């Protein structure tokens, strides 16, 4: 038996959702999370700069 086994996961155990985390960014005016494609913050109404990645 190998000593270097990968950790076992249950068949339907959810992984951490990186896509969800990457879908939001901080508003520079109010520091709230907003969607990456938003051009106006829904919390404070401040203009957001769209960045090409």
Chain segment 3-49, per-residue pLDDT in tens:
677 767 677 766 777 788 888 999 999 999 999 899 999 999 999 98
Number of domains in the chain: 1
pLDDT at 52: 64
pLDDT at 50: 79
Question: Does a structural domain hold residue 9?
Answer: no
Question: Does a structural domain hold residue 3?
Answer: no
pLDDT at 13: 67
Q: What are phi and psi of 49, to 5 degrees?
A: -90, 125
pLDDT at 2: 58
Return the closest-CA partner of residue 31 out of 18, 19, 41, 21. 41
Buried (b) or exposed (e) across 1-38, using 16+ Cβ within 10 A? Answer: eeeeeeeeeeeeeeeeeeeeeeeeeebeeeeeebeeee
Residue span of the structural domain in which 51 resides: 16-53
Structure tokens at 34: 């907003």
């Amino acid at each position: 038996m190998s000593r270097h086994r990968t950790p076992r996961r249950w068949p339907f155990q959810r992984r951490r959702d990186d896509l969800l985390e990457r879908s939001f960014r901080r508003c520079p005016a109010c520091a709230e999370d907003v969607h990456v494609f938003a051009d106006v913050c829904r919390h404070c109404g401040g203009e957001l700069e769209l960045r090409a990645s």
